[in-house]
Amino acid sequence: MSSELMDSFCLLRLTVTLLALLNPCLTRLTPRVSFPMGSPGRRLTCFSSHDLSNTTTLLLSADGEKLYVGARDAVLLLDVGHKDTVLLRSKLDWSPSEKDLEECSMKGKKMADCPNFIRVLQFFNSTHMYVCGTFAFSPRCAYINSETLTMSLNTDEGRGRCPYDPYQRNTAIIVGEELYTGTVADYRGNRPVISRHLSEGSRVDLKLDDTLGWLEDPTFISSKFIPHEEKIYFFFSEVGREYNFVDKFIVSRVSQICMSDVGGQRTLQRRWTTFAKAQLLCQDGSELPYNVIQDIDLLPPAEGTSVDDILFYGIFTSQWAVNSGRSAVCSFTLTEIKSIFSGNYKVLNRDTLQWSARVQEKVANPGECGLHNASDNALRFVKENFLAEDSVRPAGRRLTLVSREHIYSHLTVQRVQAANKKLYTVLFLLTESGHLHKAVLLQQGSYIIEEVQVFKPPQPIRSLMLSIPKGMLYVGTSEGVVRIPTANCSYYWTCAQCVLSRDPFCGWDAASRACVEVSVTQTALGQDTDGGNVEEACNSVSVTHRTKFGPSKMPAISCPAGELVSVSLNDVVRLHCPAASQLSHQLWERPNSRLSSDLYLHLQDGSLSFVATPATLGHYLCLSTENGYRQTMAIYHVKQKSSPVAQTPTSYTRSHTRAQPTREGPKATESRPAVTKPSLAIRNTPVTTRQLDRNLTLWMKEYENLETKFRDGNPLLSACCPSYLKELVVVSVLLVLCLSLLITVTLYVLRQRWRRQTAPGMGTPSRSSDRRTPEEQESLRENEFGSKANGQVPSGGHASGLVCNGNLTDSTQNLPNTPF
């Protein structure tokens, strides 16, 4: 590479890096609700055992009743047909002997890596499975009866079918009782290979030619079978030799082989003649690409559409530091992949090992099925032209989802039909920290419905499997298997919360007053996945039901009775407000009053803090706003203690999740209350909608009984808005007194000025002043001088002044600067 080209590339790379750093379009994807491990709002079924570890491979039966688990030194058969439990039906132990372990240790391997880790687990036919394991760095394979879990007497050598190292990724799939694998074929892991095994009759086992450089240090991810194409697609990442970078540049690939391939007659004997590969480019505009593929899943075409409308959804990360800690999801269409493979191919110069665009005449179409009967000239052309010139770009030329907070490791995808018969795509994404994200793809972008913690402490995820007929997800980690229902509709107990979830699985049934799963038998369900509009979606709900369970505005009655908080004056009061979701915004209101920033402090967790004074006593309402919908989350009545004896706040709710208001002593008024991190987020403290609405219902039921409970000298809680009649009378009297005082003083000043103008000898002292003693005159002069200098009433035996309309008066109703 010339120095000019190198400088240009460095400048381009720096420019792209700066653009990525300054990109304002990367928004934060926050799950609406979050369920910690063991949360009652999200029921998980776990299976674990003291002798079970490293569940690296999962295989689900066609009926969804049995789950086969490939673990360390064992294969398990789990009964997953029961709703609340996962039962162990049988277990097959398959571990290396002591001699095998000793040989593994002598090869320089750690004893922790020498057991038999199951890496291939596939159905061979209707009665048997084909299983392969690392077996102390000497891979072996065997047939296992899928009903009795018994192994055949003879085992096969697993070289080229299973990796040696348990940490190396591989892929395997059985089609037509033939095994197609992508793995390494040597002990050191330097010979990557895509091969076919278990061929019979006229068909022969095939593999890639090691000397051709068809694979460059790959990491195999997955393999998918396309029936109508009779092709198998392999997905992996490798070093991109077509880029002459200083550092190794990783690229993601899709490759294909034809199942009908039997190799060439003279050229490429027992080698693939239909192998071709292309780059998968997960990139948005001019940003740096997410170039390292982590996982991929296939979404079949919708009913009534073309068979080529298959979508491949993949997780990608980046080797660039600017995208460190981020993940992106891209989708690719089968139509686009086929178009790339039918286009032009690059040519590799064997002498210089440089790739270039094709200039000579095209002899054959690389990747085309049926080339095993082609001429030697055509096969030699295919042998050197296997890299497509163009890259496969994502559907819609944009990224499906980008997360800057989470690194996703596995995904699975499902198409869901909502209540309005519209189809939505739902992604289930697993993070490296052991959390499951459920996201729906909308026109305006991705929306994460919920987050579920799968394990605590977090465990590395080994496998993920989806059972669409049963509506279940299965997650395998280093310690066991977790089953998670795909739908969680019963968590939402109001029509508003059911609609705001925007879950295409769920809709509000007005007849049963419950959020239920959408099915073909359900009609007229309240649901709005696209917009989450509560008012429109809940129109079918009766007025009575809406008032009881989910009022969209302030209740028609004054308000339900809330929680009584007894405080002493000058105490610091903190009122907590539970969040309806992690996307909601909390706000506080007082009836007929404004929450001034001088008196009130809004904390980050949504709580309200203030000092108890006569002006701050009264009712407080905490409201939650989400997507234009407002609901009352908590109601408090702050009152002064009737006696100096400490009282405990009396609560008239049955909520155990809402934090109690805290009161601090008078010393707390000297410092500003500390702003704490959100402690009421659903992730840390689950606050279910069911509990909140039960609180509101209980408040309404006890509304009529509270009047008698608080009649003994305490203000009634039956009215949401306190009476300010006494305050109005006091303010009116003070205003009248001040006006009268001002008029009187004004008239007195005018009268004194008129006397001085009309009295003779106004420059000489009066007789009355002459009668004063020298001491009295000196004291009067000092008082007048101090009043003029400080503008204050002189200290003495007079009463303190009263400020009225900006004028300062004393008890004698004379202005301080006016002589007696």
pLDDT attached to residue 246: 74
26, 444 in Cβ contact below 8 A?
no
Q: Which residues contact 743 (CB under 8 A, 6 or more apart)?
A: none
702: how many CB neighbours lie within 10 A of its CB? Answer: 15
Query: pLDDT tens, 522-555?
Result: 768 999 999 999 999 997 654 434 444 444 333 3
Please indicate, yes or no, whether residues 545 and 574 belong to a single structural domain of this protein.
no
> Cα separation of 609 and 603, whole Å?
7
- Asked whether residue 772 carries a pLDDT value surpassing 70, the answer given is no
> Cα separation of 129 and 62, whole Å?
13
The CATH code of the domain that includes 570 is 2.60.40.10
Q: What is the mean pLDDT of residues 626-631?
A: 92
Please indicate, yes or no, whether residues 528 and 671 belong to a single structural domain of this protein.
no
Confidence of residue 819 (pLDDT cuts 50, 70, 90): very low
Q: What is the mean pLDDT of residues 696-723?
A: 39
- Asked whether residue 411 carries a pLDDT value surpassing 60, the answer given is yes
In a domain, 669, yes or no: yes
- Asked whether residue 23 carries a pLDDT value surpassing 50, the answer given is no
Of 577, 559, 596, 568, give the one whose Cα is nearest residue 661: 577
- Tokens, residue 526: 């309240």
In a domain, 695, yes or no: yes
In a domain, 310, yes or no: no
Angle at 362 between CA 360 and CA 365, to 5 degrees: 150
Q: Which residues contact 544 (CB under 8 A, 6 or more apart)?
A: none
Helix %, strand %, coil % of the chain (to 5): 20, 30, 50
- Asked whether residue 430 carries a pLDDT value surpassing 50, the answer given is yes
Please indicate, yes or no, whether residues 699 and 569 belong to a single structural domain of this protein.
yes
pLDDT attached to residue 724: 57
Please indicate, yes or no, whether residues 789 and 664 belong to a single structural domain of this protein.
no
pLDDT attached to residue 726: 67
Query: pLDDT tens, 85-110?
Result: 999 999 999 999 999 999 999 989 99
pLDDT attached to residue 460: 72
Query: pLDDT tens, 348-386?
Result: 877 777 788 866 677 888 889 988 888 999 998 888 889
Tell me the average pLDDT of the chain: 79
222, 213 in Cβ contact below 8 A?
no
- Tokens, residue 473: 């997800």
Q: For the ranges 143-147, 482-486, 626-630, 748-752, which has the lowest average pLDDT?
A: 748-752
Of 119, 116, 138, 114, give the one whose Cα is nearest residue 130: 119
- Tokens, residue 378: 């055509």
> Cα separation of 221 and 63, whole Å?
26
- Asked whether residue 683 carries a pLDDT value surpassing 90, the answer given is no
In a domain, 168, yes or no: no
pLDDT attached to residue 397: 92
pLDDT attached to residue 50: 87
pLDDT attached to residue 728: 77
Q: Which domain holds residue 540?
A: 487-549
Please indicate, yes or no, whether residues 618 and 594 belong to a single structural domain of this protein.
yes
Please indicate, yes or no, whether residues 575 and 500 belong to a single structural domain of this protein.
no
pLDDT attached to residue 731: 80
Of 328, 322, 340, 250, give the one whose Cα is nearest residue 296: 328
> Cα separation of 658 and 102, whole Å?
59
In a domain, 623, yes or no: yes
- The pTM assigned to this predicted structure is 0.75
Confidence of residue 752 (pLDDT cuts 50, 70, 90): confident
Please indicate, yes or no, whether residues 575 and 544 belong to a single structural domain of this protein.
no
- Tokens, residue 595: 């929450």
Q: Which residues contact 754 (CB under 8 A, 6 or more apart)?
A: none
488: three-class secondary structure by DSSP: coil
Pairing assessment for the beta strands 33-35 and 445-453 based on DSSP bridges: parallel
Query: pLDDT tens, 287-304?
Result: 889 999 999 999 999 998
Q: Please give the tally of structural domains in the chain.
A: 3
Query: pLDDT tens, 245-291?
Result: 778 899 999 999 999 999 998 899 999 999 999 999 999 888 889 99
221, 236 in Cβ contact below 8 A?
yes
Instruction: Count Cβ neighbours within 10 Å for each residue of 539-558 and write b for 16 or more, e otherwise.
Output: eebeeeebeebbbeebeeee
Of 508, 504, 437, 446, give the one whose Cα is nearest residue 473: 437
pLDDT attached to residue 27: 56
Domain boundary among 549, 584, 619: 549
Burial class (CB in 10 A: 0-12, 13-18, 19+), 363: middle
> Cα separation of 715 and 561, whole Å?
12
Please indicate, yes or no, whether residues 520 and 579 belong to a single structural domain of this protein.
no
pLDDT attached to residue 409: 94
In a domain, 295, yes or no: no
pLDDT attached to residue 643: 60
620, 635 in Cβ contact below 8 A?
yes
Q: What is the mean pLDDT of residues 393-397?
A: 94
Please indicate, yes or no, whether residues 576 and 710 belong to a single structural domain of this protein.
yes
Query: pLDDT tens, 450-490?
Result: 999 998 777 777 799 999 999 999 999 888 999 999 999 99
Q: Cα 135 from chain centroid?
A: 39
Instruction: Read off the amino acid at residue 487.
Output: A
> Cα separation of 389 and 283, whole Å?
17
Confidence of residue 754 (pLDDT cuts 50, 70, 90): confident
The CATH code of the domain that includes 530 is 3.30.1680.10
By residue count, the chain amounts to 820
> Cα separation of 140 and 160, whole Å?
10
Q: What is the mean pLDDT of residues 438-456?
A: 93
pLDDT attached to residue 770: 44
Confidence of residue 561 (pLDDT cuts 50, 70, 90): low
Write the DSSP symbol of residue 396.
G
Please indicate, yes or no, whether residues 513 and 643 belong to a single structural domain of this protein.
no
pLDDT attached to residue 339: 96
Confidence of residue 758 (pLDDT cuts 50, 70, 90): low
588, 622 in Cβ contact below 8 A?
yes
- Asked whether residue 761 carries a pLDDT value surpassing 60, the answer given is no
Cis peptide before 457 (omega within 30 of 0): yes
In a domain, 288, yes or no: no
> Cα separation of 33 and 580, whole Å?
9
> Cα separation of 482 and 305, whole Å?
35
- Tokens, residue 488: 């969680």
Q: What is the mean pLDDT of residues 671-692?
A: 35
In a domain, 805, yes or no: yes
| The 461-467 sheet, strands edge to edge | 45-47, 481-485, 472-477, 461-467
pLDDT attached to residue 645: 47
> Cα separation of 201 and 494, whole Å?
63
704, 557 in Cβ contact below 8 A?
no
- Tokens, residue 155: 């085992």
Please indicate, yes or no, whether residues 544 and 569 belong to a single structural domain of this protein.
no
Please indicate, yes or no, whether residues 497 and 574 belong to a single structural domain of this protein.
no
- Asked whether residue 593 carries a pLDDT value surpassing 90, the answer given is no
Q: What percent of the chain has a predicted confidence (pLDDT) above 70?
A: 75
> Cα separation of 126 and 146, whole Å?
8
> Cα separation of 325 and 318, whole Å?
9
